[in-house]
Amino acid sequence: MEPIIIVLIILVVLVFIALIKTIQVIPQASAAIVERFGRYTRTLNAGLNIVVPFIDSIRNRIDLREQVVPFPPQPVITQDNLVVNIDTVIYYQVTDARAATYEVASYIQAIEQLTVTTLRNIIGGMDLERTLTSREEINAALRGVLDEATGKWGIRVNRVELKAIEPPTSIQDSMEKQMRADRDKRAAILTAEGIRQSQILTAEGEKQSAILRAEGEAKAAALRAEGEAQAVRTVFEAIHAGDPDQKLLSYQYLQMLPKIAEGDANKLWIVPSEIGDALKGLSGAMGNFGGLGGGSGSGAPAGGSGGGSERREKPSITD
C-alpha cells in the first residue's frame, strides 16, 4: 500500500504543478512572451491566460508603463573644443513586447549608447554659449533621433531632458566674472540713467517754475500799471472836475519839493524850470492879497480922516 500512496502523492503534486503552469495571471499594464520549444508563440496580455504546461514557457515579462531612466554624465566636446558633462533623462514606453524582446538584446543599454552618440553629434556642431542656451533645441533633436531608431525595437521615446550641462571649472569662473561685469555695467548704466533723468526733471521743474514766476511777475506788473493808470485817470478826472486855478497848482507844486529832496542818496537834484512860474504865481497871489488889504484901509470914510490923524497898519499874511 505504501508505494501506491507515494505514487498518488506524486501524481497530485504533478497535477498541482501543471495547473500552476497552465494558468498564468498577467498584471495590468504588463505583457508576457510565450515560447513553445524555444520559439515565439504569442504574447499574453493582462488578465487570466492558459498555456500548455511543460510545452509553453514564459520567456519575458515586460512592463508597458512609461519608464524613466537617468543616464550618468557624459563628456561631450563642443565646436569650440571645450569638454562639457551632460546629464540626460529618457522617458520611454514599450509599445511592442515582442520587438522589445527579440529585436534588441538590451534596449536600455542600446538607448543609453544611442543617446551618447547622438549628443556628441549634436553638441559637436554648437559652441559653448549656444549649448548652454539651446536646451529645447537639443532635446527636440535628440528625441527625434531616438524615437526614429527605437521604433523598430518596439520602444517609443516620449521625452528627453538634459538635467545639467556642466562646463569646465575655469570656464565657469570666467563666465561668472563676465556675468558679474555685465551686472555691474548694467547697474552703472541704470544709475547714470537715473541721475540723468533726475537732472532733466529738475531742470524741467526749474524751467516751469521760472516761466510761472515770470508770468506771475508780468501779470502783477500789468495789474500794478493798470492800477496806477486808473489812479492817474481818477486823479486827472478829479482835478478837471474841481477846475483848479494856477495858484492852487503852484502851491501844490511847492509842497512836492521837500519830497523830491528826501533821501540820503540825493546829493544832486535838478530844479525844473516850471518852479519859477510857480513862484511867480504864488507871489502874485500874495501881492493881490496884500493889495486887497490896503484898498480896504484907504476906503475908510472921509469923516474919519477929517476928524484927526488915523493910524493905518499893513495887514500881515501868515501861513
CATH number for the domain including 160?
3.30.479.30
Q: Which residues contact 59 (CB under 8 A, 6 or more apart)?
A: 32, 33, 34, 35, 40, 101
Which pLDDT band holds residue 300 (cuts at 50, 70, 90)? Answer: very low
DSSP 154: T
Assessment of whether the complete model's pTM goes beyond 0.85: no
**Residue 50 and residue 88 in one domain:** no
Of 46-55, 158-167, 289-298, 301-310, the one with minimum mean pLDDT is: 301-310
**Residue 43 and residue 115 in one domain:** no
Q: Is-contact 119 166, C-beta < 8 A?
A: no
Q: Is-contact 165 84, C-beta < 8 A?
A: yes
Q: Which of residues 136, 167, 198 is at a domain's end? A: 167
Q: Is residue 309 scored above 50 in pLDDT?
A: no
The answer to whether position 48 is within a domain reads: yes
**Residue 117 and residue 95 in one domain:** yes
Which pLDDT band holds residue 315 (cuts at 50, 70, 90)? Answer: very low
Q: Which residues contact 159 (CB under 8 A, 6 or more apart)?
A: 90, 91, 139, 143
Grid cell at residue 314: 499893513
Q: Which of residues 44, 62, 80 is at a domain's end? A: 62
Q: Which of residues 167, 188, 210 is at a domain's end? A: 167
Of 69-73, 118-122, 146-150, 231-235, the one with minimum mean pLDDT is: 231-235
pLDDT at 22: 84
**Residue 71 and residue 161 in one domain:** yes
**Residue 98 and residue 52 in one domain:** no
Grid cell at residue 279: 513862484
Q: What is the domain extent for residue 70?
A: 66-167
Q: Is-contact 250 278, C-beta < 8 A?
A: yes
pLDDT at 173: 79
Q: Is residue 196 scored above 60 in pLDDT?
A: yes
pLDDT at 28: 92
Q: Is-contact 143 160, C-beta < 8 A?
A: yes
CB-based burial, 93-109: b 16+ in 10 Å, e otherwise: ebebbbbbbeebeebee
pLDDT at 135: 87
The answer to whether position 135 is within a domain reads: yes
The answer to whether position 110 is within a domain reads: yes
Looking at the structure of the chain, the number of domains it has is 2
**Residue 50 and residue 70 in one domain:** no
pLDDT at 147: 86
The answer to whether position 221 is within a domain reads: no
**Residue 51 and residue 72 in one domain:** no
**Residue 48 and residue 77 in one domain:** no
The answer to whether position 291 is within a domain reads: no
**Residue 58 and residue 77 in one domain:** no
pLDDT at 1: 55
Q: Is-contact 59 35, C-beta < 8 A?
A: yes
Grid cell at residue 255: 509842497
The answer to whether position 270 is within a domain reads: no
**Residue 73 and residue 163 in one domain:** yes
The answer to whether position 215 is within a domain reads: no
The answer to whether position 286 is within a domain reads: no
Which pLDDT band holds residue 279 (cuts at 50, 70, 90)? Answer: low
Averaged pLDDT, 225-229: 84
As a whole number, the mean pLDDT across the chain is: 78
